[in-house]
Amino acid sequence: MEQATYWRLCGLSAALFLPYGLHLPYFPVWLAARGLTDFQIAATLATPLILRVLLMPVIAYVADRRGIAVTLAWCASTMAACYVCLGFLPGIPLVFAVSVVAITAQGSMPALSDALALAEIRRFQKIGLRGIQYGRIRVGASLSVLVMMLLSGPIVAVFPGRKIIFALALLGIVPVIASVRIARRMRKVRFHHGARSGLTEDPRALPLAILVIAAASLVQASHAEIYAFGTLQWAAAGFGHQTISLAWAIGVMSESVLLIFCGRYIRGVPQALAFLLLGGVGASLRWIAMSLAPDAKIVLGLQVLHALSFAATYLGSVSVLGWLAGPNHRARMQGWLSAASALSMALATIACGRLTHMFGAGAYLAMAGLAAVGTGLACAAIFMQGFRKLEMNSV
């Protein structure tokens, strides 16, 4: 039973993230091919993040009450339908509007998938089974993105420019099939009327959860420059399609290695907080180096730091919140993290549109500043957890 659940969750994670491997590096390229300016591209990518701030708490509430897996299936279906529509819509306003809906639906899926996985992990832990590790489930997503990024160069050669959206539409079918199948099996992961806990199982842990959400959101927002303009900047610098694909793939590969080999070391909140701190430090160093506009070889080397800036931050924050969340607030806890991350990423992306126009690669220094603030908040969370532990021991 435990292993069967693991493989289902791992497969779901891989399916949900398959479109990301092409969307992340090449959706901005498709927007540019449709005639959008740098500022319009930044606005198209940032607006769904702002919208998700408003919608994610509502989506997460519905998921906790009505079923996480069912809500996930609806989000996947909406994303796929929007990709299909984008292939035929005329005019920038319609492209902008439908892109916003597609990215909003797509961006809601990871939090729901995390909540579903963590709920199952906690369920098995309560009966003494610890064979499922969140990091290993998340590896399915990373490997899926990695494979698609490695294939993105050849795919774009077949679907160049404005045809990229048709490749995304085909990939969007996979999450729909996977999420509908999992929804039919896992309807039971929903509201427990007998439980009475709040957002955190221990009310005294709420300030710690808020601090973790703030720290993780800032570190993740520091990726805004590379997500929005990395491919465009590298292409302008003369990097070929294969080099760009390899750069993105190295980042995901390093992320996968960390999840495979380091997830086992997170056995509680202290270890998860250490990963969050490590992620902030790695992000600060990464963006300082990127601000120097390095050549292709150095960029490929720096992409290894994605294991820290993204994966360590993500694994640490999601794990902390999974441990702290109340039984009826699994989706909402991850939803608040997703909403906060979306808000910070939206503001950072909008700022990057202007900063990139003015300073080019120098915009990465602002990203280093964001990561540094997040690192400081991670340190504060570690100190708070220490005081909380002392307080619990003294009772």
pLDDT for position 283: 95
pTM of the model: 0.75
pLDDT for position 370: 94
Query: What are the pLDDT tens digits along the chain (395 aa)?
Result: 556 676 778 888 888 888 888 888 788 888 888 888 878 888 888 788 778 778 887 887 788 777 788 888 889 999 999 999 988 888 888 989 999 999 988 888 888 887 787 777 766 655 555 556 666 777 778 788 878 877 887 888 888 878 888 999 999 999 999 888 887 776 554 444 444 555 555 567 678 888 999 999 999 999 999 988 888 888 888 888 788 888 888 888 888 888 878 767 777 788 889 999 999 999 999 999 999 988 899 999 999 999 999 999 988 998 888 777 666 666 677 778 888 888 888 889 888 888 888 888 899 999 999 999 999 999 999 888 776 554 544 44
> Domain residues of the chain, as ranges?
2-394
Cα(277)–Cα(317) distance, integer angstroms: 10
pLDDT for position 201: 57
Residue 325, classed as helix, strand or coil, is strand
pLDDT for position 240: 83
pLDDT for position 280: 95
Query: What crossing angle do the helices spanning 330-359 and 363-394 adopt, rounded to 10°?
Result: 150
Q: How many CB atoms lie within 10 A of CB 209?
A: 22
Let me know: does 98 contact 89? Beta carbons within 8 Å: yes
Let me know: does 353 contact 228? Beta carbons within 8 Å: yes
Look at residues 372, 349, 385 and name the one whose alpha carbon lies nearest to residue 219: 372
What is the second-level CATH architecture of the domain 2-394? Answer: Up-down Bundle (1.20)
User: DSSP assignment of 330-354, as one string?
Assistant: HHHHHHHHHHHHHHHHHHHHHHHHH
pLDDT for position 395: 43
Residue 200, classed as helix, strand or coil, is strand
Cα(390)–Cα(395) distance, integer angstroms: 9
pLDDT for position 24: 81
Token representation of residue 337 = 């993290």
Token representation of residue 82 = 């929007």
Q: How many CB atoms lie within 10 A of CB 284?
A: 24
The torsion of the CA quartet 34, 107, 339, 218, rounded to 10 degrees, works out to -70
What is the C-alpha radius of gyration for the chain, rounded to an integer number of angstroms?
A: 20
Token representation of residue 1 = 């039973």
pLDDT for position 199: 59
Task: Using the CB atoms, write b or e for 301-333: b if 16+ within 10 Å.
Answer: ebbbbbbbbbbbbbbbbbbbbbbbbbbbbbbbb
CA distances from 304 to 87, 261, 288, 307, 314 (A): 34, 15, 15, 6, 16
Tell me how far the alpha carbon of residue 50 is from its chain's centroid.
15
